[in-house]
């Protein structure tokens, strides 16, 4: 899931995640967040630590934090 285009009624949020250093890290974070209900796409960029998430409705930040923790990284917060 890497598309960044919004569909009508979708919400895009950008989060800062620390600890990502490679493509495997990006994949781990993306996979965990993609499992959250309503998520249609996730794009993680290790170089910047930014994770862009497109979802049907705003996500609960604690749910995103838990997903990032499951991947082994730390959610700093929403940008």
At residue 7, the pLDDT reads 59
Give the least confident one: 4-8, 28-32, 41-45: 4-8
DSSP one-letter string for 16-60: EEES--SHHHHHHHHHHHHTSTTEEEEEEETTTTEEEEEESSPPP
For residue 3, what pLDDT is reported? Answer: 41
- Tens digit of each residue's pLDDT (9 = 90 or more) over 20-34: 999 999 999 999 999
Query: How far is Cα 23 from Cα 62, in angstroms, rounded to an integer?
Result: 24
Instruction: Supply the pTM of this predicted model.
Output: 0.88
């Amino acid at each position: 899931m890497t598309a960044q285009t919004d569909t009508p009624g979708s919400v895009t949020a950008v989060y800062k995640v620390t600890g990502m250093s490679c493509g495997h890290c990006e994949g781990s974070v993306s996979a965990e967040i993609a499992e959250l209900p309503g998520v249609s796409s996730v794009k993680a960029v290790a170089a910047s630590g930014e994770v862009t998430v497109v979802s049907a409705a705003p996500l609960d930040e604690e749910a995103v934090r838990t997903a990032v923790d499951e991947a082994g990284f730390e959610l700093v917060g929403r940008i």
